[in-house]
Structure formats: C-alpha cells, structure tokens
C-alpha cells in the first residue's frame, strides 16, 4: 500500500534479527504468501461467501504484519494462466503449481465448518521450496464473531511463519473490531458475484451499511469505471482511504474517471497526488494529458514519461504531439519516428509523420484542415500493479540502507514517527510492529514504549498498557505515557490518580489536545463526585 511520503504504506519489517529495526523487502526474505480460499465443510451453501472472506481477512492481516500476500486479482490471473476457473478448489499439487506461477514462497490452505452456533477454522502452511506442510492450526468462536476467529487464526499462522514475531494477539483482533460483519459479507459477495447487477447491489449495500468501508468503495468505483459511469466512479474512488493499501490505485483510476468526465483540473490534481508518491510513467503521462486538455503545456511530463519507459510508443507519440503543438517540429519528428520504430503499424502515427514532413501537402481550407489537425495526446488506462510493487520494494531497500546508517536512537525515533502515523489512523497492528522495531533498535527509547502502551490501551489490554507506560516513564517523562495511564485510571474511576497523570502530561506538553480534553473530563467528574 508508498520511500518518503509513502513509507507507512510500503515498508515491511523483518522481526527478530539484528537488523529487525530496518525496513526490508518481504520478497527478499521468503515471505511472499498465497492465501487460498477456504474449503466450506459446513454443508451450508449459504456460507460459501466465507471461503473468500477467509482469504481476504488473512491476506489483510499478513500485509499489516509485514508479509507480502498476493492479491485476489493475482490469484485469478494465475488460475486463468493455468486454464483453471476462478472458483476452482485446488489440490495440494495444483496449489503448489499456482504458488510457483505467482513466485510465492508459502501457501495458506484451510477449511471451516460449523459446530452448533460456532465456526471452526483450520489452516496449514505449505512451504513451496521444500514441499512441506505444517500441522493444522485451529481457531473457533461464535459465527457472529467470525472476523475475530480469522484474526486469531492469522495471528497463530504469523507465529508459524516467523516464531520471533512479537505483536500481541489482542492487536490482531483489534484490527477487525471496527468492521461490520454484515457490510463485510456484502463486500465479499460483491467482489465474487458473477452477475454485474448483483455485484453492484451488494457493493452499494456494503457502503450503505458501513460508509467508511474503504475496500467496498474501491470495488464499487472499479465497477462504475468498468461500466463507463465515470462521475459515479470518481465519487466512489474519492471515498477510498488516501493512505490505505488501495490509495494509489484509487487515485489513479479516480484521475482517469475525472479525465473521462471532462473535469481536467481535478484529474490533474489526482494524478499529481499519485505521482508525488510514486511517479510511474503512466501516472505522469496522464497528468500531462490532463494539463494539455486545459490548453496548457504538458511537455515536461511527457518527457519524463518517455524517459522512465522509453520502450512504450505511447509516450513518444504524446511527446511528439506536444512538441509539435509548441512549434518544436524537429524534436517532434524525432519522437514520432521513435514511436514508429516501436510500433511500425501505428496508422495514426504514420499519417501524422507524412503530414509533418510534407507541410506543402496540408489542406488549403480550414474545413479540410480540421480533419487532419494534430491529434490529442493518448491516455494510458492501465495501472501496472506489478511495476508498482517492484518500485515500492526498491524504495523499501533504499530506505533500509539509509536507516541502517543512522545511530540507533535516530533509527528508533524514525521508526516511532512512522508508527505514530499508523496509530493516528487506527492501524494498531502496523503501529505495534514498528514500535517493536524501534525498541529493538534502541531499548532505551521511551517514546517507543509509550507508543506500545497506547497500542495496548486501544486494543483493550489494560494490564499490558500500564506495564508499557510505566516502562516508558522509567526511562524518562513522556506526555504520551502519562495520557495512557490517565485513560486507564479514568476508565476504572480512579479519578485522583487520573487527574494527577493528566496534569503531568499537560505540564510536559501544554498544547496536547488529548491531555487538555482528559483534564476537563476528569475535573468534571471530580466535581460531580464531590
């Protein structure tokens, strides 16, 4: 899900090694996972949607934990490549073949059944290089708490994949607490339903039930885009969490939707937002198109796109058109000839080259000239997800190299700052993972322990939250640690202690809005109790 501005979305961290505090590419550490849909052994066809739900939930948690799960789209593409239908339930041999097609190192295979009102989920790991399958791991709970059941299963599987992984089970479970099961079911039905009208019905119901459910907005936007309902698509893509795993893809397709809707200024902004994070050639090109549609000069962006991907004839064609429009004929001819070298059968480029080389053959009247006017630059409609992931991993490695050169305290500070961005967005699993890495980098960095305390407090583990906050304060006074203690004591009605701790936090950081709010809340309750 993006180094510099996109670090929190693309950095993955290997745990339990001397370099555990450094961002590392999952692909370089045998951590690419293929999670297959679970086998429905309940005998209830109405629960078939849980097959894909299990794969979706586990993949989401693995990604948050720093692994590299393949996407559903990758899996469907690989099945098609192997000549297998989307709903195919692979055997062990075909699972391994599928994993090899996707370059996955491990496969998660599983099943679920029901026992009374409970759902029981079982899963095993297959290590592809060694063709070894682990013992099955189980998780169970009430069917209405299905998300928690699979969150717990994901935590157990993560321990099998990396025994040194130290994120708490409560943090995994907290990731799914805000997800409505009914909305999640409609989303899964929406992405798996073969009928297009039914897909739209389910996805619209999902976002109605849960207006902040970003994956459902992404899927709905894609449906509207594919149906050329561009204004509706742009509105849906705008609802996707900007900093989430779908943020860049939503930004790109949102830009296309705006472009096709004729909203060129907002299309330009959408592409620019994506390009600031990851300036892939297709993004930069389409930003240039949006600029040129406004009668402005997008040449510089077409130059950048052609330089980034010189083997794509579209970028040379667009650069040629833009150069010619701005009276740079010689350079335009060179670019058009380069386009034709790469795509000799491009009839439009052939006609254009002939016209530009023989201006005397241009039509005399304006009405004839209109038919032979310079064309518009071409729009690139595909977002190369593989190129994005490859670029993201390269950024990871660059950041790892930079981080490795820093003193341990600076490493811990940098990691804690990144963890804070996750925490502010409510992504507890990702935040805990980075705070743990910060502690590994510098065991004396109080801010990292304070961050862990807040993670524990938000995930509902009061005892561990208090322990981490006290560990932070043993290293030095921090407002965040005092705030956690104040919240814990306020929750248990220990108002005097909470008042003292909130006051300590406010003295350390008088501008902290959380400390200010806590002081007001506590003093109001103290006044009521007196």
**Is-contact 128 99, C-beta < 8 A?**
yes
pLDDT digits (tens, 9 = 90+) for 246-257: 888 999 999 999
- Specify whether 276 is located in the same domain as 229: yes
- How far, in Å, CA of 231 to CA of 234, rounded? 5
Predicted pLDDT of residue 76: 83
Residue 92 lies inside a defined structural domain of this protein: yes
Residue 397 lies inside a defined structural domain of this protein: no
Residue 437 lies inside a defined structural domain of this protein: yes
- Specify whether 346 is located in the same domain as 435: no
Residue 73, strand partner residues: none
Is residue 245 over pLDDT 90?
no
- Specify whether 126 is located in the same domain as 265: no
Q: Identify the domain containing residue 452 by its residue range.
A: 406-476
Is residue 366 over pLDDT 60?
no
pLDDT digits (tens, 9 = 90+) for 257-296: 999 999 999 999 999 999 988 888 999 999 999 999 999 9
- Specify whether 120 is located in the same domain as 210: no
Predicted pLDDT of residue 499: 93
- How far, in Å, CA of 241 to CA of 222, rounded? 15
Using pLDDT thresholds of 50, 70 and 90, give the confidence band for residue 24.
very low
Is residue 9 over pLDDT 50?
no
Report which of 383, 355, 354, 388 is spatially closest to residue 369, judged by C-alpha positions.
355
Mean pLDDT of 465-483: 95
Mean pLDDT of 84-108: 72
| Range name among 126-130, 141-145, 310-314 with the lowest pLDDT average | 126-130
Residue 185 lies inside a defined structural domain of this protein: no
- Specify whether 118 is located in the same domain as 167: yes
Is residue 26 over pLDDT 70?
no
Percent of the chain with pLDDT over 70: 85
Predicted pLDDT of residue 287: 97
Using pLDDT thresholds of 50, 70 and 90, give the confidence band for residue 61.
very high
- Specify whether 445 is located in the same domain as 493: no
- Looking at residue 361, which CATH number applies to its domain? 1.25.40.10
- Specify whether 121 is located in the same domain as 240: no
In angstroms, the Cα distances linking 157 to 124, 134, 189 are: 8, 10, 26
pLDDT digits (tens, 9 = 90+) for 171-198: 999 988 889 999 999 999 999 999 999 9
For residues 154 and 32, which has the higher predicted lDDT (pLDDT)? Answer: 154
Of the three residues 293, 325, 351, the one that is the final residue of a domain is 293
- Looking at residue 165, which CATH number applies to its domain? 3.40.50.10610
- Specify whether 211 is located in the same domain as 334: no
- Specify whether 307 is located in the same domain as 282: no
Using pLDDT thresholds of 50, 70 and 90, give the confidence band for residue 392.
low
Of the three residues 293, 325, 356, the one that is the final residue of a domain is 293
- How far, in Å, CA of 216 to CA of 78, rounded? 24
Residue 187 lies inside a defined structural domain of this protein: no
User: What is the number of domains present in the chain?
Assistant: 5
Predicted pLDDT of residue 278: 80
**Is-contact 132 42, C-beta < 8 A?**
no
- How far, in Å, CA of 488 to CA of 474, rounded? 18
- How far, in Å, CA of 185 to CA of 179, rounded? 10
Mean pLDDT of 380-386: 77
Predicted pLDDT of residue 246: 87
Q: Which two tokens stand for residue 486?
A: 């104040």
- Specify whether 50 is located in the same domain as 154: yes
Predicted pLDDT of residue 430: 87
Residue 17 lies inside a defined structural domain of this protein: no
**Length of the chain counted residue by residue:** 530
Predicted pLDDT of residue 529: 60
| Range name among 143-147, 223-227, 362-366, 437-441 with the lowest pLDDT average | 362-366
Is residue 29 over pLDDT 70?
no
Predicted pLDDT of residue 528: 67
Count of C-beta atoms within a 10 Å radius of residue 339: 27
Residue 390 lies inside a defined structural domain of this protein: no
For residues 309 and 129, which has the higher predicted lDDT (pLDDT)? Answer: 309
Of the three residues 278, 293, 308, the one that is the final residue of a domain is 293
Is residue 130 over pLDDT 80?
no
Q: Average pLDDT, whole number, for the chain?
A: 86
In angstroms, the Cα distances linking 286 to 282, 378, 387, 447 are: 6, 8, 17, 42
Predicted pLDDT of residue 101: 72
Mean pLDDT of 426-447: 91
Residue 13, strand partner residues: 23
Is residue 530 over pLDDT 60?
no
- Specify whether 283 is located in the same domain as 305: no
Predicted pLDDT of residue 6: 28
| Range name among 29-38, 308-317, 449-458, 488-497 with the lowest pLDDT average | 29-38
- Specify whether 270 is located in the same domain as 336: no
Predicted pLDDT of residue 13: 29
Residue 401 lies inside a defined structural domain of this protein: no
What's the helix, strand, coil split of the chain in %, to 5?
65, 5, 30
């Amino acid at each position: 899900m993006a180094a510099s501005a996109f670090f929190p979305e693309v950095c993955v961290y290997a745990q339990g090694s001397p370099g555990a505090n450094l961002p590392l590419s999952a692909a370089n550490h045998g951590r690419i996972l293929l999670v297959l849909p679970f086998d429905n052994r309940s005998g209830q066809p109405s629960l078939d949607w849980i097959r894909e739900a299990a794969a979706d939930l586990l993949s989401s948690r693995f990604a948050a934990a720093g692994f590299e799960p393949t996407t559903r789209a990758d899996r469907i593409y690989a099945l098609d490549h192997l000549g297998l239908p989307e709903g195919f339930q692979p055997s062990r041999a075909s699972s391994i073949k599928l994993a090899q097609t996707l370059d996955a190192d491990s496969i998660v295979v599983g099943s679920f059944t029901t026992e009374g009102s409970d759902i029981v989920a079982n899963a095993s790991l297959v290590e592809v290089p060694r063709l070894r399958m682990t013992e099955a791991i189980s998780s169970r709970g009430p069917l209405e708490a299905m998300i928690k059941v699979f969150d717990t299963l994901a935590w157990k599987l993560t321990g099998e994949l990396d025994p040194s992984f130290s994120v708490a089970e409560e943090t995994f479970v907290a990731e799914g607490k805000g997800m409505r099961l009914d909305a999640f079911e409609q989303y899964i039905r929406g992405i798996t339903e073969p009928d297009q009208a039914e897909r739209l019905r389910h996805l619209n119901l999902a976002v109605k039930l849960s207006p902040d459910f970003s994956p459902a907005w992404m899927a709905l936007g894609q449906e509207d885009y594919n149906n050329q309902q561009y204004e509706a698509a742009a509105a849906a893509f705008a609802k996707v969490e900007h900093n989430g795993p779908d943020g860049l893809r939503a930004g790109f397709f949102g830009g296309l939707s705006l472009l096709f809707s004729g909203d060129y200024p907002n299309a330009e902004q959408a592409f620019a937002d994506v390009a600031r994070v990851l300036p892939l050639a297709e993004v930069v090109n389409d930003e240039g198109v949006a600029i040129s549609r406004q009668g402005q000069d997008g040449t510089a962006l077409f130059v950048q796109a052609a330089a980034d991907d010189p083997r794509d004839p579209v970028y040379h064609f667009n650069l040629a058109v833009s150069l010619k429009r701005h009276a740079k004929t010689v350079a335009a001819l060179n670019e058009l000839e380069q386009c034709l070298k790469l795509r000799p059968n491009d009839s439009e480029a052939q006609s254009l080259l002939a016209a530009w080389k023989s201006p005397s053959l241009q039509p005399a009247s304006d009405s004839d000239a209109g038919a032979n006017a310079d064309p518009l630059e071409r729009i690139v409609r595909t977002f190369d997800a593989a190129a994005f992931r490859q670029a993201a991993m390269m950024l990871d490695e660059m950041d790892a190299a930079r981080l490795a050169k820093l003193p341990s305290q600076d490493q811990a500070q940098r990691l804690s700052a990144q963890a804070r961005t996750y925490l502010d967005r409510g992504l507890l699993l990702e935040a805990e993972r980075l705070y743990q890495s910060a502690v590994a980098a510098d065991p004396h960095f109080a801010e990292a322990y304070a961050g862990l305390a807040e993670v524990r407090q938000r995930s509902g583990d009061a005892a561990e939250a208090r322990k981490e906050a006290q560990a932070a304060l043993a290293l030095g006074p921090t407002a965040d640690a005092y705030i956690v203690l104040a919240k814990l004591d306020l929750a248990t009605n220990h108002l005097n202690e909470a008042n003292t701790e909130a006051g300590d936090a406010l003295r350390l950081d008088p501008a902290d809005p959380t400390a200010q709010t806590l002081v007001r809340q506590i003093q109001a309750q103290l006044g009521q109790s007196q």
